[in-house]
Amino acid sequence: MIAAPRLSTILLAAITVLVAALLYSPLFVPIASSFFPVARGEVDWSSPTVETYVALAGNHEILAALRTTLVVGVCTVVLSVVSGTLLALYYHGRRAGRSLLQFIVFLPFLMPPIISGLALLIFFREIGLERSLLTVVIGHTVFVLAIVYRTVLTRLQSMSRTLVEASYDLGATKWQTFWRVILPNLSSATVGGAILAFALSFDETMITILVTGTQTTLPVRLWAMMRLGFSPDINALVALILMFTILLCALAARFLVPRQIATQRS
Amino acid sequence: MKSAGLARPVAIRWSPLVTALAFALPVVFVLVPLAIFLVYSFFSVDQGQIVYAPTLANYLRFFTDPVFLPVFWRTIVLCLSVAVISILLAYPTAYFLTTLRGRWRYALLMLLMVPLLMSYVIKIYAIRSILGLNGFLNKALVGLGILAEPSTLFVFNMNAILLTLTLLLIPFAILPIFLALERIPQVLLRASDDLGASSLQTFLRITLPLSLPGVASAASFVFVLAIGDFLTPQMVGGISGFTFGRILYSQFGTAYNWPFGAALSVALAVVVIVAILLGERFGRNRGTSL
């Protein structure tokens, strides 16, 4: 049943369009300007070009930063998925100490990153750990752990115990049950959690700025470049990162969107 | 989600080694650093060296020095404004989403959430280029004849921080409000309609009060994220856009007074915790379950 649109509906729709435009404007501006040359901080809209992309391919600093980001991202994903899954399995169906440790896991996610970052900075200094990629990975891992933990725990809670009992009844050992029953059932949640963890790590800037050594990740590199001013290859890079992120989001959604919503849509 | 009956939780027995492993990461790298951080705020600095002796000097300085408290309050007011503006834009948007049916509702919600997952630094940079002297906003305002010449109103000041934070954080306001609106039982709205209430009366007497918990959560989210952000003020704030986060950071950089910086962080953390607790307290959905 579709009622004729009323004034209030039109007004609401207009506000929604405005909000969407506001939200997307910072995404489209760099993409659009990446195809035009920049001179003295102004975009020349008259002559479209791909030279910004060519310049980007020759920018070794940016490519090195991209490599660092990927290395950090992969290490973070491995650490946070293993540890987050362990925590979720450990905490699932158990009460004692659960809320306390859960609180600790969520702290870096709730606290402003500047506080988590500074706390880690002081900690690393006090234990004599030099700032390096290792400290960046640790920083990212504690930051994204909450997301992986939450994702896996949600899946575990919707998993039926009868599956495990059936496995035991059929004579499987503890490890067989874990590898053949529990883990496969968790797989899409862990993959989804891993993608989210990677996306968060890929974007994390504040903690990285504080705990990194000489090697910088892409956001930190961008941050340093942007403070100096506009440069055409930044726009190209921004456009590429946006497309990459959209791809990641689509992938994460594919693994994480609840079934009800998925079926509702089809 | 509570599992009951057939769907009892999966129980696994654990060896102490696995237990220790599960605890190790969060305890060693979250709890211990934060504890050290807290302890640091009671230390002091003498000639560039940290003095490991307890003192309340940092906190006294925070409360008595004429510099810090005004910036602290100003930052809180700024972030409250961000929360209010975000909600004013997010509420009609979320309300509109709930009037849609089926696939459109979630497709549009998803569309409004995607910008959240885009690189933060890049968005700040893009917004700065939109707000700048040669930016789109000024070009549009001059083109429309609203401004005679490009204005510096929107960049390197508090307005710029306010606008940028709002643009970045609106999605965080949309989601909780949408969830609260979606949870309102349709029967209540139909009953109100049956009893002869106008749609405005139904909105003011039923929808609005029942969605207020979502508004509280949204306000708490946006405020906490805004007050913890340091990159936005640094990038678009300029000299006149000085916020508490920037002062805090400067204690670790140029001023090299880590204990005082830690004390300022504790003040920030207290505000964040209060905002989260208030959000929790008023954000719980009551009376919507039938």
3-state secondary structure A120-154: HHHHHHHCCCCCCHHHHHHHHHHHHHHHHHHHHHH
Interface ipTM? 0.85
pLDDT tens digits for B94-114? 999 999 988 889 889 988 988
- Mutation choice for A interface testing from B32, B122, B164, B167 by most A CBs within 10 A: B122
Burial class (CB in 10 A: 0-12, 13-18, 19+), B148: exposed
The pLDDT value recorded for residue B272 is 95
Which residues, numbered 69 to 128 in chain B, qualify as contacts with chain A under a Cβ-Cβ cut-off of 8 Å? 89-90, 92-93, 95-97, 99, 102-103, 106-108, 110-112, 114-115, 117-123, 125-127
Across the interface, which of B6, B134, B276 has its CB nearest the CB of A160?
Answer: B6
B20-48 mean pLDDT: 89
Any chain B CB within 8 A of the CB of A230?
A: yes
Across the interface, which of B9, B235, B276 has its CB nearest the CB of A110?
Answer: B276
A-chain CB neighbours of B262 within 8 Å are 118, 122
Q: What residue in A sits closest to B134 (Cα-Cα)?
A: A42
Residue B171's pLDDT band, with cuts at 50, 70 and 90, is very high
Which residues, numbered 167 to 196 in chain B, qualify as contacts with chain A under a Cβ-Cβ cut-off of 8 Å? 167, 170-171, 174
Which residues, numbered 24 to 83 in chain A, qualify as contacts with chain B under a Cβ-Cβ cut-off of 8 Å? 24-27, 29-30, 33, 41-42, 79, 83
The pLDDT value recorded for residue B289 is 44
The pLDDT value recorded for residue A265 is 43
The pLDDT value recorded for residue A146 is 93
Q: Kindly list the distances between the CA atom of residue B64 and the CA atoms of A83, A85, B56, B61, B134, in Å, as whole numbers in the listed order.
A: 45, 48, 12, 5, 42
Per-residue pLDDT of chain A (266 residues; tens, 9 = 90+): 345 568 888 999 999 999 999 999 988 887 887 887 766 656 677 778 788 788 888 888 888 999 999 999 999 999 999 999 888 888 776 656 777 888 899 999 888 999 999 999 999 999 999 999 999 999 999 999 999 999 998 888 887 778 888 888 888 887 888 888 888 888 888 998 998 899 889 889 999 999 998 888 988 988 888 877 666 677 788 788 878 877 877 787 777 765 544 444 43
B49-70 mean pLDDT: 92
B163-180 mean pLDDT: 95
The pLDDT value recorded for residue A262 is 47
pLDDT tens digits for B225-240? 999 999 999 989 888 8
A-chain CB neighbours of B265 within 8 Å are 114-115, 118
B12-40 mean pLDDT: 84
Q: DSSP of B129-178, one letter per residue?
A: HHHSTTSHHHHHHHHTTS-SS--STTSSSHHHHHHHHHHHHHHHHHHHHH
Q: Kindly list the distances between the CA atom of residue A33 and the CA atoms of A58, A203, B137, B288, in Å, as whole numbers in the listed order.
A: 19, 22, 15, 48
Instruction: Give me chain B's average pLDDT, please.
Output: 88
Nearest CA to A238 among A218, A265, A216, A262? A218
The pLDDT value recorded for residue A2 is 46
